[in-house]
Amino acid sequence: MSIRKWHKYWPELCAVALSAWVTVAAPLAWGADPPVNDRAAPPAGDGLGVASSGDPFARAPADDPFAIVREESFVTGAAKHPQPLGEAPSSVTVITAEEIRTHGYATVAEALRWVRGLFVTYDRSYSYVGVRGLLRPGDYNNKVLLAIDGHTLNGYVYGDGLFGNELGLDLENVERIEVVRGPGSALYGSYAVLAVVNVVTRHPSREPGIALAGRAGAWGDRRLFAAWSSSTPGGPQWRLSGSWQGARGPDLYFAEYDHPLSHSGRAIDADGEEAGGLFGTIEWGSSRLAAKLNSRMKRFPTGAFETTFGDRRNRTYDGHDFVELSDTRRLAGPVELQSRAYWDGARYRGFYIEGPDTATKVNFDRGDGDLVGTELRVHWSPGTRDVVTLGTEGQYDLRARMDNFDEVPFVVYVRQNPRSGRVAAYLQDERRVGSSVLVTAGGRADRYADFDPVVSPRLDVVWEADPGTRVKLLAGSAFRAPSVYEARYDLYRSKVGLLPERVNTLEGAVVRTAGPLTADFSIYGNWVRDLIDLVRTDTLGTLEFRNRARVVGRGVEGELAAVGSRGTRARLSAAWQTSRDRDTGLELTNSPRWNAQAVLTHAPLSRPYGLGIGVRYLSPRWTLAHSRTAPAVVVDARVSALLPRAFQVGLDARNLFDSRHGDPGSAEHREDEIIQDHRALFLTVELRSRRGP
């Protein structure tokens, strides 16, 4: 890029330089006291959460003997700082480490299947997360923001969130998963349209020593995991982990390809995958360095994109790497400064085999994105009943390489490497009115090069009607900027330009806690406009990304949860919703009316065994061919036992009663439904060597 072109991005570059200096240089000069780590429980408090210690940033819920048992009392994803779950200005669900371990969840996507109002589809390549009935075919999870410890992990080129094995994050490293429903752009910007999924990793002090794990099971599945943690008072604390996994995958049958020239519809040894990853953190004082590296190869057996069906050379490679340096400093009195600087690298390669078996050719597809970014955030408490958050964020794209070509004969269809940048500022005020009302108001402005600045406001009220009842009234607006792929990919580039997708949301919720029981009821409405779809623009079948659809969604959700002091938890939830295209009045595809889960977790501390069982129901969904899928009822279960010498063994059953069901296919599939996995059994073994801190 020439010097003349740099001036277009001076706001982004200034924001990156300023925050990078604060993150790297300022901690060496300032001698302020470091804060308490946000993954530790803040001190007990009173009332609506003002800590008895007088610390405005350390809040606790009202005295509740079951709070420790629940484990999920505090969340960070809703406000970018720790706050009691009951006060979070959003509808939030927390998946605890205990639930992850007892049920044997292998990926974030698998854990999200058991969250109220969420559902997950799988097209034999990637896992896609739907929220409150909205999951557009081929949207690459770009309406759900995925974060690890607050670090946004949606890819730059496609805006994609990776939730399955393609994410490359071992759940042994996870302390909890926070699901924050509703618009989150007021703090996070783009992608936080329907929800924010914040994965909080385990602090080294939580499990010092060495941990080993292995798994083997159906379809040649095998996995190895190792972690090493160290926690020294006053010194560095670190955790390093790595894993490898592979699977042959099941042999599958697709009726749409039942022809002698297409292997009679059978995809043999064409669904396998291999993956490996590293994740590490090191903390010293108030500074933290985190790094993640991963790569996954996945064969796809569906014949997607008109590839040769059943050819095991059809495969994709994915990975998302990042390195982040962050620092948190308590300055003078009620002022806390948080800063971070990071590099992100998202990788995608696709090898697509085209043509008949006797004369195939290889089409290569690439989408790699690298960016650097920074964020500077100040929390200021002018009084014991008020917390103000002020932040700025900047990103500059080092690379957005998109290639598509045939290898032999060499024919280039796409070769692009556009660059851009963005800058944002946000402000939020959490103010207590009287003794029972918490009002959260704020907004964020994002500046992109291709369209006018986008402003995302929010206004939320949490009222403590009595010591066990909270009423939440939530309103906000969110957006998703067009991805580089949608806006600039030559084959599908819009001739009229693309606008950001926008959503406005209103929600009311009542949360009632009585002893070990918690009841949660929500009613909401979503109004979406300028939804981006890939559409045909003429009779020749020309495809182009356009702002096309307007969607209105309405629904109600209810959940009843119970916790016991001896390690037993139960959760029963149900959600009803309807999502329609406002222009045609038609119900959206892949949008279930009903979605329900029942989860039982039994992991008593005094007994050397654990039991996790879950039942989920998904009602029929419309497909692109205007048919409906069958309802799906799936039961998963796991039993585990603690053996001598710190060994733990577990037996996992997925789809225990062998339910036959499928998910709607997307436009690239000939299949109207993509068949899901049948019954599968897995054996897991863990060894943990704990050492004192």
pLDDT tens digits, one per residue of 405-442: 999 999 999 999 988 899 999 999 999 999 899 999 99
Whether residue 61 is predicted with pLDDT greater than 60 in this model: the reply is: no
Arithmetic mean of pLDDT, 449-457: 91
Whether residue 657 is predicted with pLDDT greater than 90 in this model: the reply is: yes
Q: Are the beta carbons of 448 and 439 closer than 8 angstroms?
A: no
Q: Are the beta carbons of 132 and 147 closer than 8 angstroms?
A: no
What is the predicted pLDDT for the residue at 658?
95
What is the predicted pLDDT for the residue at 47?
30
Cα separation, 282 vs 153, in Å, equals 20
Q: What mean pLDDT value characterizes the chain?
A: 87
What is the predicted pLDDT for the residue at 485?
92
Per the model's pLDDT, the better-predicted residue between 15 and 308 turns out to be 308
What is the predicted pLDDT for the residue at 609?
86
Whether residue 77 is predicted with pLDDT greater than 50 in this model: the reply is: yes
What is the predicted pLDDT for the residue at 344?
96
* Of 167-176, 290-299, 332-341, 401-410, the least confident: 332-341
Say whether 167 sits in a helix, a strand or coil: helix
CB atoms within 10 A of CB 150: 22
Q: Which of 128, 114, 93 is nearest to 636 (CA)?
A: 114
Cα separation, 103 vs 119, in Å, equals 17
Say whether 353 sits in a helix, a strand or coil: strand
The DSSP call for residue 25 is T
Whether residue 389 is predicted with pLDDT greater than 70 in this model: the reply is: yes
Arithmetic mean of pLDDT, 342-351: 96
Whether residue 42 is predicted with pLDDT greater than 70 in this model: the reply is: no
Cα separation, 297 vs 292, in Å, equals 17
pLDDT tens sequence across 327-345: 999 887 789 999 999 999 9
Report the percentage of the chain scoring pLDDT > 90: 71
Q: Are the beta carbons of 300 and 316 closer than 8 angstroms?
A: yes
The DSSP call for residue 355 is S
Q: Which of 238, 209, 210 is nearest to 225 (CA)?
A: 210
What is the predicted pLDDT for the residue at 654?
97
What is the predicted pLDDT for the residue at 55?
44
* Of 192-196, 549-553, 629-633, the least confident: 549-553
191 pLDDT band, cuts 50/70/90, is very high
* Of 38-52, 97-111, 112-126, 580-594, the least confident: 38-52
Q: Give me Rg for the CA atoms of the chain.
A: 25
What is the predicted pLDDT for the residue at 606?
67
Whether residue 688 is predicted with pLDDT greater than 90 in this model: the reply is: no
Q: Which of 470, 465, 346, 459 is nearest to 400 (CA)?
A: 346
Q: Are the beta carbons of 131 and 211 closer than 8 angstroms?
A: no
Whether residue 7 is predicted with pLDDT greater than 60 in this model: the reply is: no
Arithmetic mean of pLDDT, 216-230: 96
Which amino acid, one-letter code, is at 209? Answer: G
Whether residue 230 is predicted with pLDDT greater than 80 in this model: the reply is: yes
The DSSP call for residue 38 is T
Domain locations in the chain as residue ranges: 3-690
Structure tokens given for 440: 């959260």
Say whether 165 sits in a helix, a strand or coil: helix
Arithmetic mean of pLDDT, 106-124: 96
The residues that bridge with 345 in the sheet, in sequence order, are 321, 370
Arithmetic mean of pLDDT, 8-32: 45
Whether residue 63 is predicted with pLDDT greater than 90 in this model: the reply is: no
Strands 335-354 and 361-383: antiparallel
Element (H, E) at 391: strand 386-406
Q: Are the beta carbons of 283 and 327 closer than 8 angstroms?
A: no
Arithmetic mean of pLDDT, 3-27: 46
Strand ranges for 23-73 from DSSP E: 45-46, 50-51
Arithmetic mean of pLDDT, 587-611: 90
72 pLDDT band, cuts 50/70/90, is low
Whether residue 22 is predicted with pLDDT greater than 60 in this model: the reply is: no
Tokens 């009602």, located at residue: 619
541 pLDDT band, cuts 50/70/90, is low
144 pLDDT band, cuts 50/70/90, is very high
Whether residue 133 is predicted with pLDDT greater than 80 in this model: the reply is: yes
Structure tokens given for 360: 């195939």
Whether residue 19 is predicted with pLDDT greater than 50 in this model: the reply is: no
What is the predicted pLDDT for the residue at 58?
46
Arithmetic mean of pLDDT, 619-633: 95
Whether residue 1 is predicted with pLDDT greater than 70 in this model: the reply is: no
In CATH, what number does 3-690 get? 2.40.170.20
Whether residue 113 is predicted with pLDDT greater than 90 in this model: the reply is: yes
Which amino acid, one-letter code, is at 164? Answer: G
Angstrom CA distances, 99 to 174, 197, 518, stand at: 11, 17, 17
Cα separation, 56 vs 430, in Å, equals 11
Cα separation, 127 vs 140, in Å, equals 9
Per the model's pLDDT, the better-predicted residue between 22 and 663 turns out to be 663
What is the predicted pLDDT for the residue at 449?
84
